[in-house]
Structure 1
Amino acid sequence: MSTKSLVWSVLTALVLMILNNTLYVIKETEKGVLLRFGEVVNPDIQPGLHVKFPFVNNVRKFDGRVLTVDAQAERFLTQEKKALVVDSFAKFRVIDTARFYTATNGEVQRAMGLLAQRINDGLRNEVGIRTIQEVVSGERDQLMRNITLDLNKVAAAELGVEVVDVRVKKIDLPPDVSDSVYRRMNAEREKEAREHRSQGQELAEGIRAAADREVTVILSEAYRDAETIRGTGDAEATRIYAEAFGSDQEFYSFTRSLRAYQDSFQGSGDILLLKPDSDFFKYLKNPEGQQ
């Protein structure tokens, strides 16, 4: 390589190095602060291409999007002095780059650690004034809104960040008390089940007794009506027979004798001993039944 080429290479490298230390870009998803010997001179650099003095100015860039801090699950006591293990997370973003840089030296992980501590402090205060029922379901939304508002004020003043939302992921009982709680809940459910079964059996017995009573009433009424109808029929039949036989008494006596003959001589070996002049044979001797 010639001397001229070497000089041009050195000059090109120097120019690129100067440009690299002079020009910088802030993306739309970023926030940045401009420092001069470590002092903040521009706390809100707009997105785009910018110029700085090499070796004098320095630029610190931060993520301007919404970030997530996952707080470690902590054990808190409720108003009834019952322990709960609460797991939560928060959404935040940088709004004051100068304050954020001053408080955390521009380290996002450090900001997350400070926010996680404040989230747990807020949860401890809110859970301590509520019962288990209120924490789990009754006032859970109100609890998270209160924590978000309180934490947002502190975070904006101390860290230069805005807390967008705080959410509880999971609420559990501590392992040392969960077994006893589950056993008590199981006993209560079994007691409630026994009560429901006894009530059901009592109701079933009442329904069954009412049904049996109704069946008895229906059968007795039906038997009464049947007997009434049968009596009326028998009376009508007797009346008709009486009228029929009363119109010709001799014919009635004749038919009775025939029925008596039929009933008396049903088998080939039947024997009947009677006097020859018995009234039993009067219609056999004389069609008119005279002796």
Structure 2
Amino acid sequence: MRKPIIAVIIVVLVVLYASLFVVQEGQRGIVLRFGKVLRDDENKPQVYAPGLHFKIPFIETVKSLDARIQTMDNQADRFVTKEKKDLIVDSYIKWRISDFSRYYLATGGGDISQAEVLLKRKFSDRLRSEMGRLDVKDIVTDSRGRLTTDVRDALNTGSAGSDDEVQTPAADDAIASAAARVERETNSSEPAPNPNSMAALGIQVVDVRIKQINLPTEVSDAIYNRMRAEREAVARSQRSQGQEEAEKLRAQADYQVTRTLAEAQRTALITRGEGDGEAAKLFADAFSQDPDFYAFIRSLRAYESSFADNQDVMVLSPDSDFFRYMKAPTNTAR
């Protein structure tokens, strides 16, 4: 009697265990019955939030979708700028599922690889078009943040038809085809999102970032040569200004030197003149007291200067007044 009860209990427990399923935090669940998705009144796949749920055992299975933010690294690719110059751009995208039922239908059962293929095509075409509107300077400097923001917004909202200056027809066709398949399979009364946006696939692009921008060799050489030429022009301008200032300072210094020397010479001449005048006055005052003695002293100095060299020859008359002090004195008293 106990064995059948135990068997029944075991069966009940197995059935109960198979009837329960848990959707983990950060995930969403979609139940499939005999391989077909359970749908709601609008024929949209039913999405189960995190928690404990029930299903028909052995008949229904659960497909889990990751609700967390995903990172898609893009392989470095070559892009052409407005100047027709190539750039090697390495980037990545942060995205998440915003509409799980739409995402499941658009990607053929929640295939993340198919979603990333469509996202990569749209992103690559949009980034290529946006970069084609900018030159190298704008891309690598202040327009870099605006560039990624514009690309992210364009991925989420899509192009506005003829009003949008940037068109991505190849990627838009693929996304529109997947979005049309979703609309055919559902009866939702809600307005459909723009078929050119990632919202048509149930995807929201959270962020777009450029990790690295490399220049091909020919572009790098051209930019470096231009930068070198600009720096050399600035250096030449600075040197010219420095030489001009140096010439001004040198001219001012020469002017000050010349002026100072002239003032010094003028003062020296004035002082020397005053000294000579004072000396002459002193001599005049001294010799005016005895003019004969003054004449005698001057004659002695003249003799000293004239006979300093023994080789000098002088031809003078003996009666010359020059030799008057060399003659014997006469007795003037008689």
Letter in 1 for 2:209: R
Instruction: For residue 35 of structure 1, give the secondary structure of its aligned residue in structure 2.
Output: strand
Q: How does 1:180-191 map to 2 (within 5 A)?
A: 180-191=218-229
Rounded Cα–Cα distance in structure 1 between residues aligned with 2:268 and 2:88: 83
Higher RCO (Cα < 8 Å, 6 or more apart): 2
Rounded Cα–Cα distance in structure 2 between residues aligned with 1:67 and 1:219: 79
**Paired residues of 1:88 and 1:168 also in contact (CA < 8 A):** yes
- Give 5+ residue unaligned stretches, structure 1: 265-269, 286-291
Determine which of 34, 37, 40 is the counterpart of 2:38: 40
Determine which of 152, 156, 161 is the counterpart of 2:199: 156
Rounded Cα–Cα distance in structure 1 between residues aligned with 2:14 and 2:247: 102
**Paired residues of 2:20 and 2:52 also in contact (CA < 8 A):** yes
Instruction: Say whether 1:26 aligns with 2:23.
Output: yes
Structure 1 pair 279–15 and aligned structure 2 pair: CA distance change class (3 A): farther
Q: How does 1:125-140 map to 2 (within 5 A)?
A: 125-140=129-144
Structure 1 pair 163–218 and aligned structure 2 pair: CA distance change class (3 A): same
Instruction: Say whether 1:166 aligns with 2:170.
Output: no
Number of matched residues?
A: 265
Instruction: Say whether 1:87 aligns with 2:87.
Output: no
Letter in 1 for 2:129: N
Rounded Cα–Cα distance in structure 2 between residues aligned with 1:16 and 1:171: 60
Q: Which residue matches 2:78?
A: 75
Once the two structures are aligned, what percentage of the paired residues are identical? 28
Instruction: Say whether 1:110 aligns with 2:114.
Output: yes
Q: Which residue matches 1:289?
A: none
Determine which of 266, 285, 293 is the counterpart of 1:228: 266
**Paired residues of 2:85 and 2:219 also in contact (CA < 8 A):** no
TM-score by length of 2: 0.66
**Paired residues of 1:66 and 1:93 also in contact (CA < 8 A):** yes
Superimposed CA distance per residue, residues 167-186 of structure 1 (whole angstroms, 9 cap, x where no aligned partner):
2222233xxxx222333334
- Give 5+ residue unaligned stretches, structure 2: 40-44, 158-196, 305-309, 311-317, 330-334
Superimposed CA distance per residue, residues 26-56 of structure 1 (whole angstroms, 9 cap, x where no aligned partner):
2332212233332233623232212211123
Rounded Cα–Cα distance in structure 1 between residues aligned with 2:149 and 2:229: 38
Letter in 2 for 1:34: V
Superimposed CA distance per residue, residues 85-132 of structure 1 (whole angstroms, 9 cap, x where no aligned partner):
322211111121111222221232332232122211211222233333
